[in-house]
Structure 1
């Protein structure tokens, strides 16, 4: 099971982060139009990611109260997401959907997302990913903090809630 240490920040636009990633020779994977469909589960989050680049069933648990936080992630790659969406919707019910345009970059073991989320705006995410059995969480947190500082992310820009939680909160207003 991979472990992620990650942060998410609300930004005014994506150009500065994109420029920094390019200056670091980050590997650009592509731009993906994604829909994340969240299902009702008793614990953690279960989402179906439907995109042109990334298609997967993802279950995760994480601390929602830290600026840089650890996630335990199970990811199951898919070819056909639409039939699975119908099955899971019938079994579990849909909690909500997140629509986004995502640029995907990598520097080493760290995955960067430059996101434009419908109804929410622009965000930068960084996920330090470790697949090995021995995880040095402190080293992962230090790397995430380094990238946060390098991207000039201020503490008040950090977002602890998921995109779904932000959308649900906005809909409750």
Structure 2
């Protein structure tokens, strides 16, 4: 079963974070210019992400605990067709849009985002992903804590809100 635990923090020096990741053999995927559109839903968040790298339609719920975010994914469609987006989203009110510049990196199952949002500044996200449910949440938590330390993320910089709420 899919599991995903994430931590997000303000990032005073994105160049240092990027350098640290590359020194630890992170794979750089690229710079994604993303627009996330959020739609009304009875539970969780319904988001259509449009980017030059990532394009998804996702419905998810997040639970926050001690700076970590556990995500339960209810719907995940990669590269959805316009027809599919219309079937899921038409008739729903647009709640908000978030535009960001996102550099994407991977080290094994851990995904890193170095984000810039105009008016909000720079952030780093660490997302430990268990696609098949073979690692378990304890391993994911250990990975997050390890990379949090590696990137020198102090607790006071951890953000417990999504960008749309900021």
| TM-score (structure 2 length as normaliser) | 0.91
Q: Is the 8 A contact 2:64 2:70 kept in 1?
A: no
Mapped to 2, the partners of 1:58 and 1:64 lie a distance apart of 18
Give the structure 1 partner of residue 32 of structure 2.
Answer: 32
Give the structure 2 partner of residue 66 of structure 1.
Answer: 66
Q: Does 1:56 align with 2:52?
A: no
More helix by share: 1
Q: Is the 8 A contact 1:68 1:145 kept in 2?
A: no
Higher alpha-carbon deviation: 130-139 or 119-128? 130-139
Cα gap change, 1:118/1:65 in structure 2, threshold over 3 Å: closer, same or farther? farther
Counterparts of residues 101-140 of structure 1 (less than 5 Å): 101-140=101-140
- The number of equivalent residue pairs is 165
Q: Does 1:2 align with 2:2?
A: yes
Q: Which stretches of structure 1, 4 residues or longer, exceed 6 Å deviation after superposition?
A: none
- Structure 2 unaligned segments of length 5 or more: list them: none
Q: Show CA shifts across 1:103-129 (max 9, x none).
A: 000000000000001221100001000
**1:85 shift after superposition:** 5.4
Q: Is the 8 A contact 2:3 2:133 kept in 1?
A: no
Q: Show CA shifts across 1:24-73 (max 9, x none).
A: 11001000100000011011111000001000101111113430221122
What is the aligned-residue RMSD (CA, Å)?
A: 1.7
Mapped to 2, the partners of 1:76 and 1:155 lie a distance apart of 33
Q: Does 1:144 align with 2:144?
A: yes
**1:133 shift after superposition:** 3.5
